[in-house]
Structures are given as structure tokens and as C-alpha cells.
Amino acid sequence: MTSRSTRGRQAHVSALAALVLLLVLPVSGVAQADASSVTRLVPSSDRVTVAMGERVPFSVRAVDASGRAIDASLRVIAPRNAVSIGDDFLEGLAPGEYEVIATLVVGPGVQPLSVTVPVVVTWPAVTNLSIDAAEGSLFVGTTLTHRVTARHADGSRRPDPSVRWSSSNPGVASVDPFGNVTGHAAGSTTVTVSFEGVEASADYSVQPFPDVELTLEGGPAEARTGDVIRFEAVARDGSGRIRADIPLVWSHSYTATDGMLGVPATGQIAQDGAYVADVPGIHTVMASAGGRTARHTFMATPRDVVQELEIVGHGAEDWYRTTDLWAFEGVDGRDYVLTGSKVSGGYAFFYDVTNPGAITKIDSIQVDARTVNDVKVSPDGRYGVLSREGATNRRNGLVIVDLSTPSAPRVASNYEDGITGGVHNMFADDDYLYALSDGDKYVIIDMTDIYAPRYVSEYNHPDSRVHDVWVANGLAFSSEWGTGVVVVDVGNGRWGGSPDNPVFVTNYPTPSGATHAAFPYYSESTGKTYLFLGDEIMNRRGLAWAGYPRSMGSYADQYDPDTGTGGIPLVTRGYIQVVDFTDPENPEMVARYEVPEFGTHNLWVEDDKLYQAYYEGGLRVVDVSGELMGNLYTQGREIAVFKSATPAGYTPNATMVWGAQPHKGHVFFSDTNSGLWAVKLLPKGRPIS
């Protein structure tokens, strides 16, 4: 039996492994000797520079005192999703400066030799620049904005290139470092942008500013914070004709009301006239062109969406880490939750939650795995799936569970075809299952017969690592770290795709470069489809508060239940990025939900509410009704927050919410440190007259 103190050490190793890519390399074709004869480790290069998406030769040798190579096992680690290590190569995955550490594998109690190799991953060369100008003509006294897209040879985009702008005739029109071109006198000029030796240009003929009147339409007298207001600026000439070619500059101002001094950013204006107020107070929106200005002032009132949240039930756990969950109605009409686990020897657990106030663990299934990271149940409740990582024979895959009797689940089959490298996440539909394979691709499996599942096809996005996949309306949304979200037609048909023939639709890279989860949501009130994209960043390097310092000594160790010491929780960062996906051909980032000092994990959106597992930030319920724009956190859209710390947890008093799912009026969520929870939002109380 494993002692609790030993389990604590295993958890510490698991936390480290989550941050690195680990590879054990045997050194073959050289002298056979005991590892004790190794005196040093010799890398093939003392420093490696590689472009993103490219591979370079790389290896590490163990040698004895005479320099002879020794056949010994080495453990090589590199930052996950940044550097990939093979038997004889190193591949760059994300630009930056990193370290690869090779360590000699030795017995217990022996201090191992190690060597550290700096690695620099560079961007590939940019081969094309394109300029996208705002609508309108260039007149004296007006400004046109420009956006630049830089692409590599493979068509991928370089984020935020530091381009240089110039004008061939600054007296006619000047351009600032951000691509804003302003007309000064009638005449012609060429505006040029350059980056890494590549150029693009646009020609302009500047005209005198016409005699027009500018008005602002569409403004309310009052609106709530977070509501998107769309203004229209109209320029009319002396005959009343609308001049749509006049470029506008939008701006806004704010007047604080009592108690609102010292506020953060008060609102956000888009260059199409959309405005959102972040804080209550008096807001003024202005549109300007050629010395003329139109304005509208309105009052923003508090959004007032906070609801009380009630704890209904708790399936407490303190001897293993609870991972993902899936709530479902069984074919017998009762309600259940399936959970995975870490540090438990490969268990998945089944709960009866028909009465959420009396959560009851009814069964478990143990599989050959270090971790059952993900669990899913088909929409029809016919089968469940358990992911496997860290199998003893290194052949992972997944386990399919027959749920025809939900209170007595039984293993229907094991599936390994194409996924032996490890299944971190998956998505279950009634007829098909989408399972990740070693973070490289996802495999589509026919689940018509759960006792004989059948390989159908797979999708592997080039030069990309995948963490998660979600399927809706025949589209598969895979979260692929620095690549962002990748969208594939697996049955929608608009792009000719099917489960047998997955067809790439588009991909959208996010600014954070850490896309971990995606959830598509159709908003009935707006007719828009939004993609909620979640980061996962398991560190706070470079920020003012980077986490708990090791100088805290024993307090920074993993919690030990036998002694009651330690227990410093993990630290994370990251946020939810909201993309307008109404037109899949032209996705657009429009909003975010960012809570300072915490990091996001899994999410769910239903009935205009975002249920966000925000790791140390707890369970957070957010109003996502209406059109979305700006930072939802600062707009008063948070409905409820619950921190699930408990003294009896795996790590006591440390919130670490993994996943959340609404189900029949309750919200079920898992906390890695304290198990399964059920909570409920209470109706807003009527005001007392």
C-alpha cells in the first residue's frame, strides 16, 4: 500500500511532469557498462538554435573518464509545447529561450549527473506582408488606420510584427509607427510598410476636405455596463447627401459619479462605432473628421446580475486528485457523475447525484494508467469513456464503459488503434468518438458497437500540438496551444467534410499562444456564434507576483498529510478569449474574461452563462448575454464566485477547480484537491419596499 506521504511526493512529480516533455533515451551501439562508470554527459551541441516547426540533430551521450560512450539510460526534459525531443533530433514548437536538461537515470539514493543545454526557438522567415486599410478616402485633416498581416512561407501568421512605416511625401500625408495615415495637403503619396526585408505599399491621392455636417445617431439615454451600444456617425453635404467616404476617428470620455473616482479603463470604443461601458457613470462617445465632431452622452448603470450561490452537496476526496467530470442522465432516468483521477492508480469513479444533496459514490473502475485525465459520456447515455495515460506497458489508449445499467457500469472494450501514445482528452458523440493521440492528433472512432469500436479516420494539423477537441454542428474545434483553435469539418458538410474525410476549415491563433480548451456557443439573443477559448499557463514567470518562492523553505514543499506541513498550492495564469465565429471564414476576437492572478481551465456555456473552472480562482459564473465586447470581468458581469477550499482536501485549504458543468438546475464541478461538488444559483431576491 502507498503511504500518504509517498502519494504527496508522487503528486509533486506529476505537477512537474505537467510542465515538461519527458523522454527516456537509451544509448545504443556503444560500450556496455554500469551507470556508475559514467563521469559526464556530453550533448551534441552546447547551444541549440532552431526555427519554429523545424528539426535539428540533437543527442546526448554518457561517457566515462576516458571519453568512451557508455550505454546508459538518460532522462531528457524540455518545456512542454515549446520544444520536442526525439531519439536524435530537437524540434522547435514555440519561439522563446528555453533549457533542455538531460539527467542520468540511477538508482535510489544516488545523486545523478545532469547537463543543461540552452535552446533558442526562432520564428521562421516572413515571406509576405499585406496591408488592410480602413474604409474611406483620404482627405486633408482625416486619418485612415491600417493593419498589416505578416505571413511565413507555410501561410501561418506572425503575431504582432514590429513593422516600420514610411511615406514618400510626408507633407501630403504622414504615417505614424502604428500605421495611422493622416492627410495634410492635396497631392499624392505612397505609404510603405517593411519587416525583415519584405515590403508592401499603398498609394493615396489626398483631396481637400468637403463641406459636410457630422451627426451621431443611435445613442440611448441610459444603458447597463457591459451592453454593447452601436453608434452611427453620418456625414451629409449641403444637399443632404450622405458621404460614406469620410473616414472617422472614434473616441470617448468619462465623468465619474459619486463613489466612482479612481476607476480603471471606463469603456472601449471600436472603429465601427460600437461602444461598451465598463463602469457606471456618465459616458460620452465622439466621432471626428476634418475638424468636425459629433458627440452623444449617456448614463451607464450597474449591471446588477449577482446571485447568491448555495452549496448543495459535496463528494469529498482527500487521497487522490480529482480530474475531469461528466454529469449525465442515465438510461434508467437517474442522474450520475463520472470523474477521473490522478495519483490513485488509474481509477475512475461513478456517483449517483439524483439527489445532489446526498452525492453517493456507487462504483469505480480501475484501468492500467497513471492518470485518468478525461472522462466523457455519450449524449444518449449509452456509453462512457475513460482516457489512459502512463500505462505500465506504454500502450495507452482508452477504456469504453457499458452504461446500459448505469448503477453497475462495466468495461465494454479497450481501444488502442492509433492512440497508444496517451489520451489526454476526447469528445463523445452518440455514434463517433474523437480521441487525442499523444498530443499530436485526434482519431475518429465509430462507436456504433461499443464492444467492437472501429477506426474511421484522423486529423493531424501540421507542426502543431493538440490538447483538447470539442465537436458541435459537425465541426471539430481542437485547441492547439500556439496554433490556437483549429476548426475541421467532420460532418457539417459545408466544406465537404465527414467523419471519414475530415476537411480543414480555418484556424485562429490567440495572443497568449496557450489555447487549451474551446467551447462554441450560439447566442439566441444576438444570432451570433461565439467561441470561448481558454488558456492554460501553469506558471506566473515574468509577472510582478510570480508565485511562492522556494526561499520559503519547507513551506514550499508538497503538503504531507502525515506531518501536516507544506501544502503550497500551484499558481497559474491565463484567461478566456471570446471570438465572434458567426462567419467561420472571418473569425474576430471581440472580448475576454480575465481574472487577475488566476488561470483558467475547463469551461461550459449554457443559457447565456459561462461556467468557468478558474483553478485557484474557483468556480465562476459569468453573464454572457447579449453582444460581447471588452473585458467581461470589469463590466460587472460576474454572477457568482465559489472557492471550494476545505481543510480535509488532498491539499487542504487550496482551491483548484478543474471543470464545471450545469445539469438540471445545479452546477457540478470538480476540484483536484477536494473532490466533487454540487452548488445552485438562487433566484435574485425581490427588493424590500
Compute the half-sphere exposure of residue 344: CA atoms within 13 Å on the CB side of its CA: 27
Q: With cut-offs at 50, 70 and 90, classify the pLDDT of residue 10.
A: very low
Chain CA centroid to CA 74, Å = 33
Q: Scanning the structure block, which residue is given the C-alpha cell 489512459? A: 388
Q: With cut-offs at 50, 70 and 90, classify the pLDDT of residue 463.
A: confident
**In a domain? residue 687:** no
Residue 175 contacts by C-beta under 8 Å, 6 or more apart in sequence?
Answer: 146, 165, 166, 167, 181, 182, 191
Least reliable range by pLDDT among 42-51, 228-237, 258-267, 581-590? 258-267
Grid cell digits, residue 592: 475576454
Statement: residue 644 has pLDDT above 80: yes
Q: Where are the beta strands (DSSP E) in 509-580?
A: 515-523, 528-535, 576-580
Statement: residue 554 has pLDDT above 50: no
Chain CA centroid to CA 87, Å = 30
Amino acid letter for position 613: A
**In a domain? residue 420:** yes
One domain for residues 291 and 243: yes
One domain for residues 420 and 471: yes
- Count CB neighbours of 99 within 10 A: 12
User: Which pLDDT score is estimated for 33?
Assistant: 52
- For 344-357, write each residue's pLDDT tens digit: 899 999 999 999 99
One domain for residues 550 and 619: yes
Grid cell digits, residue 491: 460532418
User: What secondary structure does DSSP assign to 143-178, as a single string?
Assistant: EE-EEEEEEETTSPBPSS---EEEES-TTTEEE-TT
Q: Where are the beta strands (DSSP E) in 480-527?
A: 485-489, 503-508, 515-523
10: domain CATH number is 2.60.40.1080
User: Which pLDDT score is estimated for 652?
Assistant: 84
Statement: residue 248 has pLDDT above 90: yes
504: domain CATH number is 2.130.10.10
Give the separation between CA 278 and CA 280, rounded to whole angstroms.
Answer: 7
Single out the residue in 176, 206, 236 at which a domain terminates: 206
Give the separation between CA 227 and CA 222, rounded to whole angstroms.
Answer: 10
- For 400-450, write each residue's pLDDT tens digit: 999 999 999 999 999 999 999 899 999 999 999 999 999 999 999 999 999
255: domain CATH number is 2.60.40.10
CA-closest candidate to residue 541, choices 82, 84, 53, 116: 82
Strand partners, 341: 322, 372
- For 373-410, write each residue's pLDDT tens digit: 999 999 999 999 999 999 998 889 999 999 999 999 99
Statement: residue 9 has pLDDT above 50: no
- For 563-609, write each residue's pLDDT tens digit: 444 556 778 999 999 999 999 989 999 999 999 999 999 999 999 99
One domain for residues 469 and 331: yes
**In a domain? residue 404:** yes
Single out the residue in 277, 301, 325 at which a domain terminates: 301
CA-closest candidate to residue 541, choices 19, 8, 17: 19
Q: In what order do the strands lie in the sheet with 426-428?
A: 426-428, 432-437, 441-446, 454-459
The continuous run of DSSP H or E covering 71 comes out as: strand 69-71
Task: Tally the domains of the chain.
Answer: 4
- For 484-537, write each residue's pLDDT tens digit: 999 999 999 999 999 999 999 999 988 888 999 999 999 999 999 999 999 999
**In a domain? residue 689:** no
CA-closest candidate to residue 422, choices 18, 145, 83: 18
One domain for residues 651 and 521: yes
Average confidence score pLDDT of the chain: 90
CB 192 within 8 A of CB 122: no
Q: What is the pTM of this model?
A: 0.84
One domain for residues 246 and 156: no
- Per-residue pLDDT averaged across 352-379, rounded? 97
CB 592 within 8 A of CB 631: yes
**In a domain? residue 435:** yes
- For 20-33, write each residue's pLDDT tens digit: 455 555 444 444 45
Give the separation between CA 457 and CA 446, rounded to whole angstroms.
Answer: 9
One domain for residues 377 and 518: yes
Single out the residue in 278, 301, 324 at which a domain terminates: 301
Give the separation between CA 559 and CA 376, rounded to whole angstroms.
Answer: 30
Percent of the chain with pLDDT strictly greater than 70: 91
Helix (H, G, I), strand (E, B) or coil at 384: strand
- Count CB neighbours of 541 within 10 A: 8
**In a domain? residue 445:** yes
**In a domain? residue 357:** yes
One domain for residues 117 and 132: no
Measure the N-to-C terminal CA separation of the chain; round to a whole number of Å. 63
Q: With cut-offs at 50, 70 and 90, classify the pLDDT of residue 255.
A: confident
Q: With cut-offs at 50, 70 and 90, classify the pLDDT of residue 225.
A: very high
* Residue 297: domain span: 212-301
CB 188 within 8 A of CB 171: no
